[in-house]
Amino acid sequence: LMKFILVFTICAQMYQHCLPPTSHKEVYTTHYECATAGYEIAQEMLVQMGQNRVNNDQIVIAFACEPKMDI
């Protein structure tokens, strides 16, 4: 069975700089679970950073659901 790992990339468009991708610790059993969690977690991250930082640095968060083959 294939499972998925959520990988985030946080970028500050203001500085044209992205942090190295980081993977979330949870493993998802479907792509749908991974994708919906990605949006929820990305939104939580933006809220934690706060409007001022997000606006000033023009923060964007991208994510991918990378397949992980079950062994």
Cα distances (Å, whole numbers) of residue 29 to 38, 45, 64: 14, 23, 15
- The C-alpha angle with vertex 49 and arms to 21 and 25, in degrees rounded to 5, equals 40
pTM: 0.88
pLDDT tens column, 12-70: 999 999 999 999 999 999 999 999 999 999 999 999 999 999 999 999 999 999 999 76
Q: Which helix (H) or strand (E) holds 67?
A: strand 59-69
Q: Which long-range contacts (CB under 8 A, 24 or more apart) does 15-21 make?
A: 15/57
Handedness of CA 26, 45, 67, 33 (dihedral sign): positive
